[in-house]
Amino acid sequence: MFRFNLFAATVSPDCIVHISSAIFNCSAPNLAACPDEALPEFAFIGRSNVGKSSLLNALTGKESLARTSPTPGFTRLMNFFTINRRWRLVDLPGYGFAQGARKDAARFNRAVANYLRHRPNLSLVFALIDSGLPPQEIDLEFIEWLTAHAVPFVLVFTKTDRVSAENVQANIADFMERISKWFEKSPAVFTCSAKTGEGRRELLAVIDETLTAIEAESGSDAPEEETPALTVNERARANRKRRPDLNRPW
Ligand SMILES: Nc1nc2c(ncn2[C@@H]2O[C@H](COP(=O)(O)OP(=O)(O)OP(=O)(O)O)[C@@H](O)[C@H]2O)c(=O)[nH]1
Ligand SMILES: [Mg+2]
């Protein structure tokens, strides 16, 4: 059996970002409508209904910040939330759900693909997979796409409260085995439940580590709000170099 390590085991409990403010920023139908590129962004992506919006709420501790629904395909725009005035969480529309005749066209949302490929301040993607299911072709295809386009991501297996721990582990092992051929070093793996809060601490620690790496790379520990001399465009230019290599899983 393919062996993998849950990243959770290596995260220091002290290394956790404290969320003091979480504010809805805007909704964007396409890349051009996204907000300025000044702040590092962490985006949630995955199949419709996998729990992206719910996980965003669980991380911020604000139950109704992002709107959730049992109906697949609920989030249709890219939703931006500014956290601690320093970074953003981005709730993306899911893939794999389409109504009517436009099924193929909507398999992957073009706006989301553009965002993932071309957003310079996208620091890390949380690629969400349902922990209760064996590997799904569309998820494998999507992870291959992320890899091919060099998008930095970690894997997050969701809704662990709904399945036995054995089932979760078996599904993760199968998934990792299917994707192992694309990597020299496998991507980091997390489990989470928006219901029980499992994984919250570990995912916040990853954000913390990524922000620290970004600040170290830009040669300053100073938070964004303490560098008002930079214009938005200057900060956006600096952000183009802000995808830290340490989070690239390949
Ligand atoms: N039991 C359980 N249910 C969850 C969990 N996360 C989400 N759900 C439920 O799953 C459904 C979908 O959750 P959303 O967060 O709206 O999923 P999404 O990925 O944002 O869906 P789209 O916006 O349609 O792509 C909702 O009914 C949630 O209550 C979880 O960790 N455990
Ligand atoms: Mg959603």
Ligand nearest to the CA of 48: 1
Mean per-residue pLDDT, 200-212 = 95
Ligand 1 mean position to 70 CA, how many Å? 6
CA distance 10 to 67: 32
Ligand 1 mutation target, pool 56, 60, 69, most atoms within 8 A of CB: 69
* The pLDDT of residue 220: 56
**pLDDT classification of 15: cutoffs 50, 70, 90:** low
CA distance 193 to 62: 15
For residue 73, the ligand 1 atom closest to its alpha carbon is 24
CA proximity to 31, closest of 92, 109, 146, 114? 114
* The pLDDT of residue 99: 56
